[in-house]
Amino acid sequence: MAISSLTLSQATKVVLVVLAVYFPVALYLHYSYVPKPDPPKFAQLSGPFRRVNETAWRSALPQKLDAIADVDWSPTRSTLALFEDGRPLGPPHARWNAINGSYWHWRGEGLVFSASDNSDPNTNGRTYSVTWH
């Protein structure tokens, strides 16, 4: 029987049979049409970090991260997250007043941040890393 010669009730039955087979198979295979997000990218920061002021330090970042950095017309667009010994620091986007773990990722400036206790990240023995999407 050709598909074009199916009646409406026959076509409905075919659709229902296909759905009746598809959904149990999809559930069994744990399949979803929603794509899983890419895992965040990761980079370990290495010093020496350059002093900006009493509490803030600058770290170079890979040049490709300038594409997601904060800019004048979008000062909170960066998806960069900073970690100290694996614990998140923040708040982000704290432009020009990095204290107590805050930081900003600005185009052309790299990452400016402070340690959680405002200590020198070159000598405090902690490791710093970033992730981004």
Domain count, the chain: 1
Q: Within a domain: residue 95?
A: yes
Residue 89 has pLDDT above 80, yes or no: yes
Whole-structure pTM value:
0.70
29 falls within a domain: no
Domain assignment of residue 119, given as a range: 41-132
What pLDDT score does 71 carry?
A: 93
Instruction: Say if CB 77 and CB 67 are below 8 A apart.
Output: no
pLDDT one-digit tens code per residue, 116-132: 999 999 999 999 999 99
CA dihedral 94, 64, 42, 74 (to 10 degrees): 30
pLDDT in tens, 15-62: 888 888 888 887 777 766 677 777 779 999 998 999 999 999 999 998
Is there a domain that residue 24 lies in? Answer: no
* Residue that is written with structure tokens 């992730």 in the block: 131
